Amino acid sequence: MIVFDLSCENKHRFEGWFASNEDFERQLNDRSLTCPLCGNGKVVRLPHASYVNTGSRERPDGTRKNTARVPEQYANLDSEALAKLIDHVIETTEDVGAAFPEEARKIHYREAPERHIRGTASPREVEALQDEGIEVVALPIPAHRMGKAH
């Protein structure tokens, strides 16, 4: 299995997982690759940094490796299905913006009424929430949909 960094002509970046380079080339030539955010079929492979195995199991700065769950990337997902999911999330959640981590904690510890919320959080904040047992899901909501009323 190989992973390529991809982009559509609208500059949306995403990953694609392929059985081989030939599989990637076949899907590219068949035009079966589409952007999971906008459905655009003009996809290109982006350059990426190579992984270098130094043999060291320790991080040079002595910190532990970040174990937070990385948001899943979706390739070749039907853009209409993704759009419906995003519409549903926007319609059924309250946007709390940058107050998301604080508000998620209040709900989790029953200091605020239980409700479905969405907002923004840094990877560090997401990891802290997950460490506290608070379930957090990252979704690719396009910038033009952010700030829409629920």
pLDDT above 60 for 130: yes
Residue 45 has pLDDT above 50, yes or no: yes
Question: pLDDT digit string (tens) for 89-124?
Answer: 888 889 898 999 999 999 999 999 999 998 888 888
Burial of 95 (0-12, 13-18, 19+ CB in 10 A): middle
Q: Note the pTM of the prediction, 2 decimals.
A: 0.47
The angle at the Cα of 10, spanning 8 to 14, to the nearest 5 degrees, equals 45
pLDDT value for 127: 87
Q: Which residues pair with 7 in a beta bridge?
A: 13, 44
Question: Given a cut of 60, is residue 144 above it in pLDDT?
Answer: yes
Domain range annotation of the chain: 2-45, 79-145
51 and 110 in contact (C-beta within 8 Å)? no
Query: pLDDT-based confidence at 68, cuts 50/70/90?
Result: very low
The whole-number pLDDT of residue 138 equals: 76
Of residues 130, 114, 110, the one with CA closest to residue 122: 130
